[in-house]
Chains A and B, each alone.
Chain A
Amino acid sequence: MTDTSPDRLPAATEPTPRRLRLRRALRHQGVVLGGGLIILAVLIALFAPLLAPADPIAQNLTGRLLPPVWLDGGSTEHLLGTDHLGRDYLSRLIYGTRVSLIVGLSVMALSGVIGTTLGFIAGYFGGRVDMVVMYIITTRLTMPSLLIALALIAIIGGSLTTMILVMGLLFWDRYAVVVRTATAQIVQGDFVSAARVAGASAPWIIWNEIRPNVMHHVLVIATLEMAMAVLSEASLSFLGLGVPAPTPSWGLMIAEGRTFLFAKPYLVWIPGIAIFLMVLAINMLGDGLRDISQPDGRR
Protein backbone atom coordinates (compact mmCIF):
# COMPACT_ATOMS: atom_id res chain seq x y z
CA MET A 1 0.00 0.00 0.00
CA THR A 2 1.46 3.31 -0.98
CA ASP A 3 -1.26 5.74 -0.01
CA THR A 4 -3.27 5.06 3.09
CA SER A 5 -4.84 8.44 3.70
CA PRO A 6 -8.53 7.40 3.62
CA ASP A 7 -7.85 4.63 6.11
CA ARG A 8 -10.13 5.78 8.85
CA LEU A 9 -10.91 2.88 11.10
CA PRO A 10 -14.28 2.78 12.83
CA ALA A 11 -12.39 2.51 16.13
CA ALA A 12 -11.24 6.08 15.82
CA THR A 13 -14.76 7.48 15.87
CA GLU A 14 -16.70 5.30 18.34
CA PRO A 15 -16.03 6.01 22.03
CA THR A 16 -16.16 3.21 24.61
CA PRO A 17 -19.69 2.40 25.83
CA ARG A 18 -18.85 3.54 29.34
CA ARG A 19 -17.52 6.92 28.27
CA LEU A 20 -20.40 7.30 25.83
CA ARG A 21 -22.93 6.81 28.62
CA LEU A 22 -21.11 9.23 30.90
CA ARG A 23 -20.98 11.83 28.16
CA ARG A 24 -24.69 11.39 27.45
CA ALA A 25 -25.47 11.57 31.17
CA LEU A 26 -23.69 14.88 31.58
CA ARG A 27 -25.56 16.32 28.61
CA HIS A 28 -28.98 15.18 29.88
CA GLN A 29 -30.88 17.85 31.82
CA GLY A 30 -32.94 15.34 33.82
CA VAL A 31 -29.90 13.41 34.98
CA VAL A 32 -27.96 16.54 35.89
CA LEU A 33 -30.86 18.26 37.67
CA GLY A 34 -32.38 15.18 39.33
CA GLY A 35 -29.00 13.74 40.24
CA GLY A 36 -27.85 17.11 41.55
CA LEU A 37 -30.91 17.44 43.81
CA ILE A 38 -30.40 13.92 45.17
CA ILE A 39 -26.73 14.57 45.87
CA LEU A 40 -27.79 17.76 47.67
CA ALA A 41 -30.32 15.80 49.75
CA VAL A 42 -27.68 13.21 50.65
CA LEU A 43 -25.30 15.98 51.75
CA ILE A 44 -28.03 17.59 53.84
CA ALA A 45 -28.81 14.26 55.47
CA LEU A 46 -25.16 13.53 56.20
CA PHE A 47 -24.39 16.94 57.66
CA ALA A 48 -27.77 17.47 59.36
CA PRO A 49 -26.21 18.10 62.81
CA LEU A 50 -24.05 20.86 61.31
CA LEU A 51 -26.75 22.39 59.16
CA ALA A 52 -29.68 22.34 61.55
CA PRO A 53 -29.87 25.53 63.63
CA ALA A 54 -31.52 23.74 66.57
CA ASP A 55 -32.25 20.33 68.06
CA PRO A 56 -35.16 18.95 66.02
CA ILE A 57 -36.90 17.34 68.99
CA ALA A 58 -36.24 20.00 71.65
CA GLN A 59 -39.62 21.40 72.64
CA ASN A 60 -40.17 25.01 73.61
CA LEU A 61 -43.76 25.42 74.74
CA THR A 62 -43.44 29.19 75.07
CA GLY A 63 -42.44 29.59 71.43
CA ARG A 64 -45.15 27.46 69.78
CA LEU A 65 -46.42 27.93 66.22
CA LEU A 66 -44.09 30.80 65.39
CA PRO A 67 -44.48 31.81 61.73
CA PRO A 68 -41.61 31.58 59.22
CA VAL A 69 -39.34 34.56 58.67
CA TRP A 70 -41.22 36.02 55.69
CA LEU A 71 -44.55 36.31 57.58
CA ASP A 72 -45.49 38.89 60.23
CA GLY A 73 -44.05 37.88 63.57
CA GLY A 74 -41.38 35.68 62.07
CA SER A 75 -37.76 35.94 63.15
CA THR A 76 -34.39 34.87 61.80
CA GLU A 77 -34.02 32.67 64.87
CA HIS A 78 -36.51 30.22 63.39
CA LEU A 79 -36.27 30.64 59.61
CA LEU A 80 -39.23 28.33 58.95
CA GLY A 81 -40.95 29.03 62.28
CA THR A 82 -41.84 26.41 64.89
CA ASP A 83 -44.46 23.67 65.16
CA HIS A 84 -47.21 23.10 67.72
CA LEU A 85 -44.62 21.95 70.30
CA GLY A 86 -42.26 24.84 69.59
CA ARG A 87 -39.68 22.69 67.72
CA ASP A 88 -37.62 24.44 65.05
CA TYR A 89 -39.32 23.61 61.74
CA LEU A 90 -36.20 24.00 59.56
CA SER A 91 -34.26 21.60 61.80
CA ARG A 92 -37.08 19.06 61.63
CA LEU A 93 -37.16 19.41 57.83
CA ILE A 94 -33.39 18.86 57.61
CA TYR A 95 -33.46 15.80 59.84
CA GLY A 96 -36.52 14.55 57.95
CA THR A 97 -34.28 14.16 54.88
CA ARG A 98 -32.48 11.39 56.75
CA VAL A 99 -35.60 9.31 57.32
CA SER A 100 -36.76 9.82 53.78
CA LEU A 101 -33.44 8.81 52.24
CA ILE A 102 -32.76 5.92 54.59
CA VAL A 103 -36.15 4.41 53.82
CA GLY A 104 -35.90 5.15 50.10
CA LEU A 105 -32.42 3.72 49.66
CA SER A 106 -32.83 0.74 51.99
CA VAL A 107 -36.10 -0.37 50.43
CA MET A 108 -34.62 0.11 46.97
CA ALA A 109 -31.61 -2.03 47.86
CA LEU A 110 -33.49 -4.77 49.73
CA SER A 111 -36.23 -5.19 47.14
CA GLY A 112 -33.62 -4.82 44.40
CA VAL A 113 -31.56 -7.72 45.71
CA ILE A 114 -34.62 -9.96 46.10
CA GLY A 115 -36.15 -9.04 42.74
CA THR A 116 -33.02 -9.19 40.59
CA THR A 117 -31.96 -12.49 42.16
CA LEU A 118 -35.33 -14.05 41.37
CA GLY A 119 -35.24 -12.54 37.89
CA PHE A 120 -31.74 -13.87 37.18
CA ILE A 121 -32.67 -17.36 38.38
CA ALA A 122 -35.88 -17.53 36.34
CA GLY A 123 -34.36 -16.05 33.20
CA TYR A 124 -31.14 -18.05 33.30
CA PHE A 125 -32.51 -21.50 34.02
CA GLY A 126 -35.88 -21.19 32.26
CA GLY A 127 -38.16 -24.23 32.07
CA ARG A 128 -39.50 -25.52 35.38
CA VAL A 129 -37.43 -23.11 37.50
CA ASP A 130 -38.92 -20.25 35.54
CA MET A 131 -42.42 -21.62 36.10
CA VAL A 132 -41.91 -21.74 39.86
CA VAL A 133 -40.46 -18.23 40.04
CA MET A 134 -43.23 -16.88 37.82
CA TYR A 135 -45.72 -18.48 40.21
CA ILE A 136 -44.11 -16.61 43.12
CA ILE A 137 -44.13 -13.36 41.14
CA THR A 138 -47.78 -13.67 40.15
CA THR A 139 -48.74 -14.53 43.71
CA ARG A 140 -46.97 -11.40 44.86
CA LEU A 141 -48.65 -9.33 42.12
CA THR A 142 -52.13 -10.36 43.26
CA MET A 143 -51.52 -8.71 46.64
CA PRO A 144 -52.15 -4.99 47.10
CA SER A 145 -48.74 -4.02 48.47
CA LEU A 146 -49.52 -0.81 50.33
CA LEU A 147 -52.58 -2.34 51.98
CA ILE A 148 -50.55 -5.30 53.17
CA ALA A 149 -47.79 -2.99 54.38
CA LEU A 150 -50.42 -1.04 56.33
CA ALA A 151 -51.91 -4.15 57.89
CA LEU A 152 -48.56 -5.67 58.80
CA ILE A 153 -47.21 -2.50 60.36
CA ALA A 154 -50.45 -2.00 62.23
CA ILE A 155 -49.97 -5.46 63.75
CA ILE A 156 -46.20 -5.37 64.37
CA GLY A 157 -46.06 -1.72 65.30
CA GLY A 158 -44.33 1.02 63.36
CA SER A 159 -40.62 1.71 63.43
CA LEU A 160 -38.01 2.61 60.85
CA THR A 161 -36.77 -1.00 60.67
CA THR A 162 -40.19 -2.64 60.32
CA MET A 163 -41.14 -0.13 57.67
CA ILE A 164 -38.01 -0.87 55.63
CA LEU A 165 -38.37 -4.63 56.03
CA VAL A 166 -42.05 -4.74 55.14
CA MET A 167 -41.67 -2.53 52.07
CA GLY A 168 -38.42 -4.17 51.03
CA LEU A 169 -40.03 -7.60 51.15
CA LEU A 170 -43.00 -6.39 49.09
CA PHE A 171 -41.71 -4.04 46.39
CA TRP A 172 -39.49 -6.44 44.40
CA ASP A 173 -41.96 -7.55 41.71
CA ARG A 174 -40.98 -5.04 39.04
CA TYR A 175 -37.27 -5.88 39.35
CA ALA A 176 -38.05 -9.59 39.02
CA VAL A 177 -40.24 -9.26 35.93
CA VAL A 178 -37.88 -6.98 34.03
CA VAL A 179 -34.66 -8.80 34.95
CA ARG A 180 -36.23 -12.17 34.09
CA THR A 181 -37.20 -11.03 30.58
CA ALA A 182 -33.84 -9.36 29.92
CA THR A 183 -31.89 -12.35 31.23
CA ALA A 184 -33.88 -14.86 29.20
CA GLN A 185 -32.93 -12.92 26.09
CA ILE A 186 -29.25 -12.44 26.95
CA VAL A 187 -28.80 -16.13 27.80
CA GLN A 188 -29.41 -16.90 24.11
CA GLY A 189 -26.26 -14.98 23.19
CA ASP A 190 -23.26 -16.94 21.97
CA PHE A 191 -21.03 -15.21 24.50
CA VAL A 192 -22.94 -17.02 27.25
CA SER A 193 -22.40 -20.32 25.43
CA ALA A 194 -18.69 -19.52 25.20
CA ALA A 195 -18.56 -19.02 28.97
CA ARG A 196 -20.41 -22.31 29.50
CA VAL A 197 -17.93 -24.17 27.36
CA ALA A 198 -15.14 -22.53 29.38
CA GLY A 199 -16.61 -24.30 32.40
CA ALA A 200 -18.19 -21.28 34.06
CA SER A 201 -20.84 -21.92 36.72
CA ALA A 202 -24.30 -20.37 36.57
CA PRO A 203 -23.53 -17.77 39.29
CA TRP A 204 -20.28 -16.85 37.52
CA ILE A 205 -22.06 -16.34 34.21
CA ILE A 206 -24.90 -14.39 35.80
CA TRP A 207 -22.50 -12.11 37.64
CA ASN A 208 -19.84 -11.60 34.97
CA GLU A 209 -21.63 -11.93 31.66
CA ILE A 210 -25.31 -11.15 32.25
CA ARG A 211 -25.33 -8.60 35.09
CA PRO A 212 -23.45 -5.89 33.13
CA ASN A 213 -26.07 -6.18 30.40
CA VAL A 214 -29.12 -5.75 32.65
CA MET A 215 -27.80 -3.18 35.13
CA HIS A 216 -29.19 -0.26 33.16
CA HIS A 217 -32.69 -1.76 33.41
CA VAL A 218 -32.22 -2.35 37.13
CA LEU A 219 -31.07 1.21 37.67
CA VAL A 220 -34.20 2.64 36.07
CA ILE A 221 -36.48 0.43 38.17
CA ALA A 222 -34.46 1.26 41.26
CA THR A 223 -35.32 4.94 40.89
CA LEU A 224 -39.01 4.13 40.44
CA GLU A 225 -38.99 1.94 43.54
CA MET A 226 -37.09 4.53 45.56
CA ALA A 227 -39.62 7.22 44.71
CA MET A 228 -42.39 4.80 45.61
CA ALA A 229 -40.72 4.01 48.95
CA VAL A 230 -40.24 7.70 49.81
CA LEU A 231 -43.92 8.34 49.14
CA SER A 232 -45.00 5.25 51.06
CA GLU A 233 -42.90 6.26 54.05
CA ALA A 234 -44.56 9.67 54.06
CA SER A 235 -48.01 8.07 53.75
CA LEU A 236 -47.39 5.56 56.53
CA SER A 237 -45.91 8.19 58.82
CA PHE A 238 -48.84 10.48 58.02
CA LEU A 239 -51.19 7.71 59.13
CA GLY A 240 -49.19 7.30 62.31
CA LEU A 241 -47.89 3.87 61.25
CA GLY A 242 -44.42 4.94 60.24
CA VAL A 243 -41.65 6.33 62.36
CA PRO A 244 -42.74 6.90 65.96
CA ALA A 245 -43.67 10.40 67.05
CA PRO A 246 -40.66 12.48 68.10
CA THR A 247 -38.52 11.39 65.12
CA PRO A 248 -38.70 14.06 62.43
CA SER A 249 -40.27 12.68 59.26
CA TRP A 250 -41.87 14.70 56.50
CA GLY A 251 -45.01 12.56 56.51
CA LEU A 252 -45.33 12.92 60.24
CA MET A 253 -44.81 16.70 59.97
CA ILE A 254 -47.74 16.94 57.54
CA ALA A 255 -49.87 14.80 59.85
CA GLU A 256 -49.10 17.03 62.82
CA GLY A 257 -49.57 20.25 60.85
CA ARG A 258 -52.90 19.07 59.45
CA THR A 259 -54.78 20.32 62.55
CA PHE A 260 -53.70 23.87 61.70
CA LEU A 261 -54.29 23.55 57.96
CA PHE A 262 -56.45 26.69 57.72
CA ALA A 263 -54.68 28.93 60.20
CA LYS A 264 -51.10 27.90 59.46
CA PRO A 265 -51.07 26.25 56.00
CA TYR A 266 -47.27 26.50 55.73
CA LEU A 267 -46.99 23.74 58.34
CA VAL A 268 -48.36 21.41 55.67
CA TRP A 269 -46.94 22.79 52.48
CA ILE A 270 -43.33 23.14 53.63
CA PRO A 271 -42.82 19.38 54.21
CA GLY A 272 -45.12 18.80 51.21
CA ILE A 273 -42.68 20.64 48.95
CA ALA A 274 -39.79 18.61 50.39
CA ILE A 275 -41.53 15.34 49.50
CA PHE A 276 -42.50 16.66 46.09
CA LEU A 277 -38.94 17.74 45.27
CA MET A 278 -37.44 14.48 46.46
CA VAL A 279 -39.81 12.34 44.37
CA LEU A 280 -39.47 14.64 41.37
CA ALA A 281 -35.67 14.50 41.53
CA ILE A 282 -35.65 10.69 41.73
CA ASN A 283 -38.06 10.37 38.82
CA MET A 284 -36.11 12.85 36.72
CA LEU A 285 -32.95 10.86 37.32
CA GLY A 286 -34.77 7.64 36.46
CA ASP A 287 -36.20 9.00 33.21
CA GLY A 288 -32.79 10.36 32.32
CA LEU A 289 -31.07 7.06 32.98
CA ARG A 290 -33.58 5.30 30.76
CA ASP A 291 -32.94 7.81 27.98
CA ILE A 292 -29.18 7.50 28.04
CA SER A 293 -29.26 3.71 28.19
CA GLN A 294 -31.17 3.56 24.88
CA PRO A 295 -28.75 2.20 22.30
CA ASP A 296 -29.07 5.14 19.94
CA GLY A 297 -29.14 7.73 22.72
CA ARG A 298 -32.29 9.37 21.39
CA ARG A 299 -34.61 11.17 23.75
Chain B
Amino acid sequence: MSDPVVLSASEVSVSFRQRQGLFRPPQMIPAVRDVSFEVAQGEVFGIVGESGSGKSTMAKMILRLLRPDAGRLTLAGQPMATIAPYRFARLVQPVFQDPYSSLNPRRSLREIIEMPAAVAGDLAPAERQDRARELFTRVGLPMRLFEAYPNQISGGQRQRVAIARALMTRPRVLICDEPTSALDVSVQAQILDLFEELRAQFALTYVFISHNLAVVERIADRVGVMYRGQMVEQGPAQQIFGAPSHPYTRMLLASALPPQPGRPLPVINRDFDSAPAQP
Protein backbone atom coordinates (compact mmCIF):
# COMPACT_ATOMS: atom_id res chain seq x y z
CA MET B 1 0.00 0.00 0.00
CA SER B 2 1.40 3.34 -1.01
CA ASP B 3 -0.51 5.45 1.50
CA PRO B 4 1.64 6.74 4.35
CA VAL B 5 1.36 5.14 7.76
CA VAL B 6 -0.60 7.41 10.08
CA LEU B 7 -0.64 5.25 13.18
CA SER B 8 1.69 2.50 14.23
CA ALA B 9 2.19 0.30 17.26
CA SER B 10 5.35 -1.65 17.76
CA GLU B 11 5.58 -4.34 20.44
CA VAL B 12 3.25 -2.48 22.77
CA SER B 13 2.61 -4.08 26.16
CA VAL B 14 0.78 -3.05 29.30
CA SER B 15 -0.09 -4.77 32.57
CA PHE B 16 -2.52 -3.95 35.32
CA ARG B 17 -1.58 -4.37 38.95
CA GLN B 18 -4.03 -6.39 40.91
CA ARG B 19 -3.97 -6.10 44.68
CA GLN B 20 -3.74 -9.38 46.52
CA GLY B 21 -4.67 -8.03 49.92
CA LEU B 22 -2.93 -5.61 52.21
CA PHE B 23 0.39 -7.33 52.75
CA ARG B 24 0.97 -9.44 49.68
CA PRO B 25 2.71 -7.72 46.76
CA PRO B 26 0.36 -6.74 43.91
CA GLN B 27 0.26 -9.14 40.98
CA MET B 28 0.83 -7.85 37.47
CA ILE B 29 -1.84 -9.01 35.02
CA PRO B 30 -0.75 -8.57 31.41
CA ALA B 31 -3.55 -6.95 29.37
CA VAL B 32 -1.75 -6.32 26.08
CA ARG B 33 1.39 -8.20 25.06
CA ASP B 34 3.76 -7.23 22.23
CA VAL B 35 1.11 -5.89 19.88
CA SER B 36 2.35 -4.41 16.60
CA PHE B 37 0.37 -3.02 13.68
CA GLU B 38 0.37 -0.19 11.18
CA VAL B 39 -2.59 1.80 9.94
CA ALA B 40 -2.28 3.61 6.61
CA GLN B 41 -3.86 6.97 5.92
CA GLY B 42 -7.48 6.52 4.83
CA GLU B 43 -7.89 2.87 5.70
CA VAL B 44 -10.18 1.20 8.23
CA PHE B 45 -8.30 -1.07 10.58
CA GLY B 46 -10.63 -3.40 12.43
CA ILE B 47 -9.72 -5.02 15.73
CA VAL B 48 -11.84 -8.00 16.74
CA GLY B 49 -11.73 -10.12 19.85
CA GLU B 50 -13.77 -11.20 22.83
CA SER B 51 -14.08 -9.47 26.18
CA GLY B 52 -10.76 -9.41 28.00
CA SER B 53 -8.79 -9.79 24.77
CA GLY B 54 -7.18 -6.39 25.30
CA LYS B 55 -8.80 -4.61 22.37
CA SER B 56 -10.31 -1.81 24.48
CA THR B 57 -7.07 -1.46 26.44
CA MET B 58 -5.34 -1.01 23.09
CA ALA B 59 -7.84 1.76 22.26
CA LYS B 60 -7.09 3.49 25.57
CA MET B 61 -3.38 3.50 24.77
CA ILE B 62 -3.92 4.90 21.29
CA LEU B 63 -6.01 7.67 22.90
CA ARG B 64 -3.28 8.29 25.50
CA LEU B 65 -5.73 7.50 28.29
CA LEU B 66 -3.32 4.77 29.35
CA ARG B 67 0.46 4.69 29.09
CA PRO B 68 2.04 1.52 27.69
CA ASP B 69 4.66 -0.20 29.85
CA ALA B 70 6.74 -1.05 26.83
CA GLY B 71 6.76 -0.58 23.08
CA ARG B 72 6.37 2.35 20.73
CA LEU B 73 3.27 4.11 19.47
CA THR B 74 3.64 6.68 16.73
CA LEU B 75 1.15 9.04 15.21
CA ALA B 76 1.82 10.87 11.94
CA GLY B 77 5.43 9.76 12.20
CA GLN B 78 5.96 11.24 15.64
CA PRO B 79 6.32 9.28 18.89
CA MET B 80 2.89 9.56 20.49
CA ALA B 81 4.11 10.60 23.93
CA THR B 82 5.85 13.68 22.55
CA ILE B 83 2.83 15.21 20.80
CA ALA B 84 1.41 18.36 22.41
CA PRO B 85 -2.16 17.93 23.72
CA TYR B 86 -4.01 20.21 21.28
CA ARG B 87 -2.12 18.86 18.29
CA PHE B 88 -2.90 15.35 19.49
CA ALA B 89 -6.59 16.24 19.65
CA ARG B 90 -6.43 17.38 16.03
CA LEU B 91 -4.96 14.04 15.00
CA VAL B 92 -7.05 11.54 16.98
CA GLN B 93 -10.56 11.58 18.41
CA PRO B 94 -12.64 8.85 20.10
CA VAL B 95 -16.12 7.42 19.66
CA PHE B 96 -17.04 5.24 22.64
CA GLN B 97 -19.45 2.37 23.10
CA ASP B 98 -21.91 3.59 25.69
CA PRO B 99 -24.04 6.38 24.24
CA TYR B 100 -25.20 7.18 27.78
CA SER B 101 -21.92 7.71 29.57
CA SER B 102 -20.24 9.39 26.60
CA LEU B 103 -22.29 12.60 26.83
CA ASN B 104 -22.31 14.89 29.87
CA PRO B 105 -25.95 14.83 31.07
CA ARG B 106 -25.77 18.44 32.28
CA ARG B 107 -24.58 19.96 29.01
CA SER B 108 -26.62 20.82 25.94
CA LEU B 109 -25.84 18.98 22.70
CA ARG B 110 -24.34 22.20 21.31
CA GLU B 111 -21.99 22.51 24.29
CA ILE B 112 -21.04 18.83 24.03
CA ILE B 113 -20.11 19.12 20.36
CA GLU B 114 -18.24 22.40 20.91
CA MET B 115 -16.23 20.94 23.80
CA PRO B 116 -13.01 19.99 21.94
CA ALA B 117 -12.84 23.48 20.40
CA ALA B 118 -13.67 25.10 23.72
CA VAL B 119 -10.77 23.24 25.33
CA ALA B 120 -8.32 24.26 22.63
CA GLY B 121 -9.69 27.81 22.53
CA ASP B 122 -8.55 28.17 18.92
CA LEU B 123 -11.88 29.31 17.49
CA ALA B 124 -13.97 32.38 18.21
CA PRO B 125 -17.28 31.42 19.88
CA ALA B 126 -19.29 32.29 16.76
CA GLU B 127 -17.01 30.26 14.52
CA ARG B 128 -17.10 27.38 16.96
CA GLN B 129 -20.87 27.38 16.95
CA ASP B 130 -20.99 27.53 13.16
CA ARG B 131 -18.80 24.47 12.90
CA ALA B 132 -20.86 22.64 15.55
CA ARG B 133 -24.06 23.51 13.68
CA GLU B 134 -22.62 22.29 10.41
CA LEU B 135 -21.54 18.97 11.97
CA PHE B 136 -24.87 18.61 13.76
CA THR B 137 -26.72 18.56 10.44
CA ARG B 138 -23.94 16.55 8.80
CA VAL B 139 -24.43 13.63 11.23
CA GLY B 140 -28.15 13.71 10.48
CA LEU B 141 -29.60 15.47 13.52
CA PRO B 142 -32.46 17.99 13.21
CA MET B 143 -31.46 21.53 14.25
CA ARG B 144 -34.38 21.79 16.66
CA LEU B 145 -32.41 19.46 18.94
CA PHE B 146 -29.28 21.65 18.90
CA GLU B 147 -29.94 23.11 22.35
CA ALA B 148 -31.53 19.92 23.71
CA TYR B 149 -30.00 17.77 26.45
CA PRO B 150 -28.83 14.14 26.20
CA ASN B 151 -31.81 12.84 28.21
CA GLN B 152 -34.13 14.11 25.49
CA ILE B 153 -32.74 12.02 22.63
CA SER B 154 -32.44 8.33 21.76
CA GLY B 155 -29.36 6.10 21.89
CA GLY B 156 -28.75 6.33 18.16
CA GLN B 157 -29.04 10.11 18.24
CA ARG B 158 -26.59 10.23 21.15
CA GLN B 159 -24.07 8.28 19.14
CA ARG B 160 -24.47 10.80 16.31
CA VAL B 161 -23.72 13.59 18.77
CA ALA B 162 -20.60 11.73 19.93
CA ILE B 163 -19.48 11.42 16.31
CA ALA B 164 -20.08 15.12 15.66
CA ARG B 165 -18.01 15.95 18.75
CA ALA B 166 -15.21 13.73 17.49
CA LEU B 167 -15.17 15.58 14.16
CA MET B 168 -15.01 19.03 15.79
CA THR B 169 -11.20 19.15 15.72
CA ARG B 170 -11.11 17.86 12.12
CA PRO B 171 -9.04 14.83 13.19
CA ARG B 172 -7.31 12.42 10.84
CA VAL B 173 -8.03 9.28 12.83
CA LEU B 174 -11.16 8.16 14.68
CA ILE B 175 -10.78 5.48 17.34
CA CYS B 176 -14.16 3.76 17.51
CA ASP B 177 -14.46 1.39 20.47
CA GLU B 178 -17.57 -0.77 19.96
CA PRO B 179 -19.45 2.23 18.56
CA THR B 180 -22.56 0.30 17.54
CA SER B 181 -22.63 -2.47 20.13
CA ALA B 182 -25.12 -0.79 22.45
CA LEU B 183 -27.51 0.07 19.62
CA ASP B 184 -30.45 -1.78 18.12
CA VAL B 185 -29.72 -3.38 14.75
CA SER B 186 -31.88 -0.92 12.81
CA VAL B 187 -29.97 1.98 14.37
CA GLN B 188 -26.64 0.17 13.96
CA ALA B 189 -27.18 0.06 10.20
CA GLN B 190 -27.82 3.84 10.19
CA ILE B 191 -24.65 4.57 12.13
CA LEU B 192 -22.55 2.26 9.93
CA ASP B 193 -23.82 4.13 6.88
CA LEU B 194 -22.87 7.40 8.54
CA PHE B 195 -19.34 6.13 9.23
CA GLU B 196 -18.95 5.21 5.56
CA GLU B 197 -20.16 8.61 4.35
CA LEU B 198 -17.98 10.56 6.77
CA ARG B 199 -14.94 8.51 5.89
CA ALA B 200 -15.21 9.58 2.28
CA GLN B 201 -16.10 13.17 3.00
CA PHE B 202 -13.47 13.93 5.65
CA ALA B 203 -10.75 11.55 4.40
CA LEU B 204 -10.81 9.78 7.76
CA THR B 205 -8.83 6.82 8.99
CA TYR B 206 -10.66 4.52 11.41
CA VAL B 207 -9.49 2.10 14.04
CA PHE B 208 -12.73 0.18 14.43
CA ILE B 209 -12.92 -2.08 17.45
CA SER B 210 -15.80 -4.52 17.79
CA HIS B 211 -16.71 -7.99 18.93
CA ASN B 212 -19.23 -8.11 16.09
CA LEU B 213 -17.45 -9.86 13.23
CA ALA B 214 -20.12 -9.13 10.61
CA VAL B 215 -19.87 -5.41 11.34
CA VAL B 216 -16.07 -5.40 11.11
CA GLU B 217 -16.10 -7.46 7.93
CA ARG B 218 -18.36 -4.84 6.40
CA ILE B 219 -16.38 -1.75 7.31
CA ALA B 220 -12.73 -2.80 7.67
CA ASP B 221 -10.01 -2.93 5.00
CA ARG B 222 -7.60 -4.76 7.25
CA VAL B 223 -8.29 -6.65 10.45
CA GLY B 224 -6.33 -7.65 13.55
CA VAL B 225 -7.59 -10.48 15.75
CA MET B 226 -6.81 -10.16 19.45
CA TYR B 227 -6.85 -13.00 21.91
CA ARG B 228 -5.66 -12.83 25.50
CA GLY B 229 -3.73 -9.62 24.99
CA GLN B 230 -1.98 -10.71 21.83
CA MET B 231 -2.70 -9.99 18.21
CA VAL B 232 -2.80 -13.55 16.96
CA GLU B 233 -3.47 -12.71 13.33
CA GLN B 234 -3.75 -9.69 11.08
CA GLY B 235 -4.19 -9.05 7.41
CA PRO B 236 -6.58 -7.87 4.71
CA ALA B 237 -10.23 -8.35 5.64
CA GLN B 238 -10.90 -10.81 2.80
CA GLN B 239 -8.04 -12.97 3.99
CA ILE B 240 -9.00 -12.93 7.68
CA PHE B 241 -12.66 -13.66 6.97
CA GLY B 242 -12.15 -15.83 3.91
CA ALA B 243 -9.08 -17.87 4.79
CA PRO B 244 -8.21 -17.43 8.46
CA SER B 245 -4.98 -19.09 9.47
CA HIS B 246 -5.11 -18.96 13.27
CA PRO B 247 -7.36 -21.55 14.97
CA TYR B 248 -8.76 -18.89 17.27
CA THR B 249 -9.92 -16.81 14.31
CA ARG B 250 -11.50 -19.91 12.83
CA MET B 251 -13.34 -20.60 16.08
CA LEU B 252 -14.51 -17.00 16.30
CA LEU B 253 -15.83 -17.08 12.75
CA ALA B 254 -17.54 -20.40 13.38
CA SER B 255 -19.47 -19.02 16.34
CA ALA B 256 -21.32 -16.39 14.33
CA LEU B 257 -25.02 -17.15 14.06
CA PRO B 258 -26.46 -15.98 10.73
CA PRO B 259 -30.24 -15.39 10.63
CA GLN B 260 -30.89 -18.40 8.44
CA PRO B 261 -33.28 -21.03 9.74
CA GLY B 262 -32.63 -24.74 9.65
CA ARG B 263 -28.96 -24.71 10.60
CA PRO B 264 -27.69 -26.48 13.71
CA LEU B 265 -25.65 -24.62 16.30
CA PRO B 266 -21.97 -24.62 15.31
CA VAL B 267 -19.48 -26.76 17.21
CA ILE B 268 -17.02 -24.75 19.26
CA ASN B 269 -13.61 -26.33 19.35
CA ARG B 270 -11.33 -24.90 22.01
CA ASP B 271 -8.69 -27.62 21.51
CA PHE B 272 -5.99 -25.21 20.29
CA ASP B 273 -6.09 -23.55 23.66
CA SER B 274 -3.97 -25.51 26.11
CA ALA B 275 -4.58 -23.20 29.06
CA PRO B 276 -7.87 -23.57 30.92
CA ALA B 277 -10.52 -21.37 29.36
CA GLN B 278 -12.22 -20.25 32.53
CA PRO B 279 -11.19 -19.59 36.11
Contact = CB atoms under 8 A, between A and B. Distances in A.
Q: Do A and B touch each other in the complex, judged by CB within 8 A?
A: yes
Interface of A: 10-11, 14, 16-17, 188-191, 193-200, 204, 208-209, 212-213
B27 interface: no
B85 A189 contact: no
B116 interface: yes
Given A16-B149, A199-B86, A191 B119 contact: no
Interface in B87-142: 88-89, 92-94, 96-98, 101-108, 112, 115-116, 118-120
Given A10-B154, A17-B106, 4 more contacts: A11-B153, A189-B101, A198-B115, A199-B119
A198 B148 contact: no
Contacts of A16: 108, 148-149, 152
Best-buried of B65, B92, B98, B104 by chain A (most CB within 10 Å)? B104
A208 B96 CA distance: 20
A171 B153 CA distance: 41
Interface residues of B, number: 39
B169 interface: yes
B152 A190 contact: no
Best-buried of A11, A16, A196, A209 by chain B (most CB within 10 Å)? A11
Given A16-B149, A212-B107, A194 B92 contact: no
Classify the interface of chain A: helix, strand, loop or mixed.
helix
A38 B151 CA distance: 32
A297 B57 CA distance: 37
Nearest to A11: B152
Contacts of A204: 119
B172 interface: no
A194 B102 contact: yes
Contacts of A196: 64-65
A273 B120 CA distance: 55
Contacts of A188: 101
B232 interface: no
Given A10-B153, A10-B154, A194 B115 contact: yes
Given A10-B152, A11-B145, A204-B119, A197 B98 contact: no
A17 B105 contact: yes
Nearest to B60: A193
B252 interface: no
Contact of B63 (A10, A17, A197): A197
B160 interface: no
Contacts of B104: 189, 191, 209, 212-213
A197 B94 contact: yes
18 contacts: A11-B153, A16-B152, A17-B149, A189-B102, A189-B104, A193-B65, A194-B96, A194-B102, A194-B166, A195-B115, A197-B65, A197-B88, A197-B94, A198-B116, A199-B85, A200-B119, A208-B115, A213-B104
Contacts of B116: 194, 198-199
A17 B108 CA distance: 10
Nearest to A216: B106
Contacts of A191: 101-104, 112
A188 B105 CA distance: 14
Nearest to B63: A197
A190 B149 contact: no
B222 interface: no
Nearest to A16: B149
A212 B108 CA distance: 12
Nearest to B97: A190
Contact of B151 (A14, A193, A213): A14
Contacts of B63: 193, 197
Given A16-B148, A191-B101, A204-B119, A197 B106 contact: no
Contacts of A17: 105-106, 149, 151
A195 B103 CA distance: 10
A197 B64 contact: yes
Nearest to B83: A199
B154 A190 contact: no
Nearest to A198: B116
Contacts of B106: 17, 212-213
A204 B118 CA distance: 10
B165 interface: yes
Best-buried of B85, B97, B112 by chain A (most CB within 10 Å)? B85
Best-buried of A17, A188, A194, A195 by chain B (most CB within 10 Å)? A194
A212 B96 CA distance: 22
A87 to B, nearest CB: 50
B98 to A, nearest CB: 6
Contacts of A213: 104-106
Nearest to B177: A190
Contacts of A14: 151-152
Best-buried of A14, A197, A208, A212 by chain B (most CB within 10 Å)? A197
Best-buried of B97, B106, B112 by chain A (most CB within 10 Å)? B106
